[in-house]
Amino acid sequence: MIRISVNIVNLPTLDPNKQYARVLHDYELERYKYKSRLETPPWSLPPLPDNPNADQGVPETCKLYDSRRVRLTKKLQEFWFGLLLKYNPDMTLQAAKRDWASLTDGHRFITNGQGWNEGYADYINNVNTETDGMGYEPLITGGNIVEILGPAENKPGGLRWFPIKCIDPPSNLDVSIINLEKTPELIYNATVIRREVYVGKTRVVDPFSQFNDNSLVPLFSPNGVNFIETTRVAFLPRGSVKPSPYNPPR
């Protein structure tokens, strides 16, 4: 079933002095045979609707070159949670804390084995606070934008990678400065790729369900810079409007 429950309004016009690129969806990539990753090895689930109980969507993750974990200290967690509260003003604090626990679950996507449920600290819900903070894996999801900082570079493995701007964890974190309006390249909407066909050969791309389908993730990375594979992005015209990360757009 296609869910259209997100209403994105006033998408910002991007700074014409910066070079932005859009992270491509699965169905735009040769590696996934221009389908969703669920339809290609190692997934290759039965086609719909033969197996209606199978997962119909998974996080549309794109790993970055520098995979070193960012330890989610109390400062980083409070900043991230503050962003989520800013853009979900109608949520009660109780509901927001519940969705935070769901979003940072170690089986979800961004903490990948180092969530609060694996014994790491969740300072928002005061869980495991005597241990180290949860481990954030630097990655992004399809449909979002990044700021390209320079020409592609060769890295071990024979691939080429663009340097992209990220949030340096030790920096001054303030939601009035780092937010969707002022720094859209530093915050992304977590997306889910599905197997359902939308238009032509495209596939449905939905939001994560937490935070009323508005799960925002800061793009943290050690030293404030990371690298994205050149084949995973398409450059945007300078001064264009930020595209919706979802399909259908909303």
| For the chain, the helix, strand and coil percentages under 3-state DSSP, each to the nearest 5 | 20, 25, 55
- What pLDDT is stored for residue 108 in this prediction? 87
Considering only the C-alpha atoms of the chain, give the largest distance between any 2 of them, rounded to a whole number of Å: 52
For residue 160, give the nearest of 86, 227, 61 by alpha carbon.
227
Helix (H, G, I), strand (E, B) or coil at 146: strand
Contact (CB, 8 A) for 144 and 189: yes
List CB contacts of 63: < 8 A, sequence separation 6 or more. 137, 138, 139
Q: Is the pTM of this model over 0.85?
A: yes
* Domain count within the chain: 1
Assess if residue 27 is contained within a domain: yes
Q: Is the dihedral of CA 33, 37, 38, 43 positive or negative?
A: positive
Per-residue model confidence as pLDDT tens for the chain (250 residues)? 444 444 555 678 999 999 999 999 999 999 999 999 999 888 776 666 666 555 578 999 999 999 999 999 999 999 999 999 999 999 999 999 999 999 999 998 999 999 999 999 999 999 999 999 999 999 999 999 999 999 999 999 889 999 999 999 988 899 999 999 999 999 999 999 999 999 999 999 999 999 999 999 999 998 999 999 999 999 999 999 999 999 999 8
- Give the Cα separation of 217 and 210 in Å (integer): 12
Predicted local distance difference test score (pLDDT) of residue 50: 62
Residue 116 belongs to a domain: no
Q: Is residue 162 assigned to a domain?
A: yes
Confirm if 72 and 133 have CB atoms less than 8 A apart: yes
Q: Tell me if 83 is assigned to some domain.
A: no
What number of CA atoms fall less than 13 Å from residue 43's CA on the CB side? 20
Residue 214 lies inside a defined structural domain of this protein: yes
Q: What pLDDT, on the 0 to 100 scale, is given for residue 11?
A: 78
> Is 1 a domain residue?
no
By C-alpha distance, which of 181, 101, 185 is closest to 140?
Answer: 185
Q: Which domain holds residue 35?
A: 19-68+138-235
HSE-up (13 A, CA, CB side) for residue 104: 32
pLDDT number for residue 5: 47
In a domain, 41, yes or no: yes
pLDDT of residue 2: 46
User: Which of 247, 243, 232 lies closest to 201 in space, CA to CA?
Assistant: 247
